[in-house]
Structure 1
Amino acid sequence: MSHSDSRTFVLIHGAGHGGWVWRRLADRLTALGHRVFTPTLTGVGERSHLLSGSVTLQTHITDVVNVFKWEDIKDAVLVGHSYAGWVVSGAMEELEDRVSALVYLDAFLPDDGQRGVDFLNEQQTEAFNAAREKGEVSRPGPNSKALRVQSPEDVAWIDSKITPQPIGVSLDPVQIKGARDRVATKLYVRTPLFPQPRFDAALERCKADPTWKTAILENCGHDPMVDDPDAVKDLLLSL
């Protein structure tokens, strides 16, 4: 591959995950000559020692924006998985001139002023409220069963790596002023084995909007970068 064919991918993980979840996909993209960044958001994964009540959605947005600034990233494909739909939506307001393609990988697609806490399912809401009542700063992360991890070999690995998710990130309204909509290439990817009505609605919304591309990964759970990294790689390289 010539240098001019090399692309830059910035991959942002979901709740309770970390940069580790992208390893298989990142290895495949790197082997093809691409640059890949898989930052871990503050308070989870190998940065779980930084978990505190002061971690907010803006903290995570700044985590992403700073990777672009310090690594001099331009013309990148920015991918947000699951919860990171909130993060990349907000980050785009500061990264509009640095992102050429935006991918929501089985992810939330919020509108301006919405909050993560209002999007939690019944079980997550109970855990969230219980944590707040006890004065805790996090709620349990998802497990492999909830994520619908497809390979039995991956179950123990995933469950050993998931960390609690800071609850502060769900309390701030996201600020979206139109930068996301102006990205030339936008893709929404759905993994229907994972039940999530809000993701179903996001897929239909994007299908109805000619500025969006959509894709469905039928045989993946909620972590498609684990279940089928080749399929995710092919989708990203098709952009």
Structure 2
Amino acid sequence: MATFVIVHGAWTGAWSWKRVVERLRAKGHVVHVPTLSGLGERTHLNTLPINLTTHIDDVVNEILFHDLGNVVLVAHSYGGIVGTGVIERVKDRIASVVYLEAFIPEDGQGFIDFVGGWELKGELIEAPPTSPGDYLREEDRAWVDGKATPQPTATLTERLKVAGAYKDLAKKTYIVATGWDGFSTIADTYRNDPAWQVHEVACGHDVPIDMPDELTALLEKAA
């Protein structure tokens, strides 16, 4: 059985991975999904000075204090930036990385470099509004809208030092959703690279919510 550490995206929390976590654990896997500081059930901390380094610390400490090794690190969306920073710190504990609809930063890049035109000012950034059709089921869209929390701005503006540790991992996977084109360009970068496996899922950006069964199977394959 595999050990998964999941890094959720911006404005969400461990709650957004509930369906996939239940399926992986039912199959006997060990799964850790730390909610990043200031988000989800830790939203009461969002007035503290929280930045990208804090979120990397959240995940690194989850790995270290639970004595985890041979980890399958799964990083979604903004979490790709966090996950890349985690690998820089504890590469020896990571066996495989899965970038799910995720940003993969180069040295000196942060979330702010991937979202041209966004105004990232103030201490907190409210969750972007959803629209009909963003999810396969409208009840899921309502669920997400009710759970989303503001994101500490410094997590989106701090830039990351990247030496490229993730490139040294033996197993690298990119999963892209075909229900919109937000991350298709990043996925295309790796389609013809023999060091990567690229998979597609026919839904929107929040794959863990829209297609938990399909995503669970892909994560097991990546492990």
User: What TM-score, normalized to structure 2?
Assistant: 0.95
Aligned residues: 222
Residue 180 of structure 1: aligned partner: 166
TM-aligned CA distance change 1:48 to 1:146, over 3 Å: farther
- In 1, the alpha carbon distance for the partners of 2:139 and 2:159 equals 38
What pairs with 1:62-101 in structure 2 (closer than 5 Å)? Answer: 62-101=57-96
Secondary structure (helix, strand or coil) at the match of 2:167 reads: helix
1:153 deviates by 2.0
1:43 deviates by 0.8
On the 8 A contact 1:142/1:162 being kept in 2, the answer is no
Residue 3 of structure 1: aligned partner: none
On the 8 A contact 2:132/2:138 being kept in 1, the answer is no
Q: Which runs of 5+ in 1 are unaligned?
A: 1-5
Is it true that 1:215 corresponds to 2:210 in the alignment? no
Deviations 1:82-125 (A, max 9, x none): 00010001110112111111001001111111122121143xx1
Secondary structure (helix, strand or coil) at the match of 1:145 reads: coil
- In 2, the alpha carbon distance for the partners of 1:63 and 1:203 equals 27
Q: Which runs of 5+ in 2 are unaligned?
A: none
Q: How large is the Cα RMSD of the aligned pairs?
A: 1.5
User: What TM-score, normalized to structure 1?
Assistant: 0.89
Deviations 1:121-180 (A, max 9, x none): 43xx13x2xxx2xxx311111344288111122122111100111110122221111210
Residue 184 of structure 2: aligned partner: 200
Residue 161 of structure 1: aligned partner: 147
Q: Which has the higher helix share?
A: 1
Residue 207 of structure 2: aligned partner: 224
Is it true that 1:14 corresponds to 2:6 in the alignment? no
Identity of counterpart residues, as a percentage? 39
Secondary structure (helix, strand or coil) at the match of 2:198 reads: strand
On the 8 A contact 2:123/2:153 being kept in 1, the answer is yes
